[in-house]
């Protein structure tokens, strides 16, 4: 039995892409923990630096099993 690990997947704001990503997670034996939708927004990295636009999309957190290496 392996160790459980969390993974973060980012997906563009497109229902077909989200469905495909969720299908890929399931096919790999993973389990979806959370799905968060984030709207498009302006982000300022640090004061004095120009802001940049971030597109809307989904952040998917999943859990999957990582095989453990056998000890000798």
Helix (H) or strand (E) holding 16: helix 15-27
Q: Is 63 in contact with 31 (CB distance < 8 Å)?
A: yes
Nearest to 65 by CA among 33, 34, 31: 31
pLDDT of residue 1: 61
Binned average pLDDT, 10 residues per bin, the chain of 72 residues? 88 97 95 97 92 96 84 58
pTM: 0.77
pLDDT of residue 13: 96
- What does the domain layout of the chain look like in residue ranges? 3-66
- Say which DSSP state 28 is in: T
């Amino acid at each position: 039995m392996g160790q459980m690990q969390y993974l973060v997947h980012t997906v563009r704001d497109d229902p077909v892409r989200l469905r495909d990503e969720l299908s890929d997670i399931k096919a790999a034996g993973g389990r979806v923990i959370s799905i968060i939708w984030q709207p498009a927004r302006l982000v300022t990295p640090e004061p004095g630096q120009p802001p940049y636009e971030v597109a809307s999309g989904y952040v998917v957190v999943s859990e999957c099993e990582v095989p453990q290496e056998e000890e000798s």
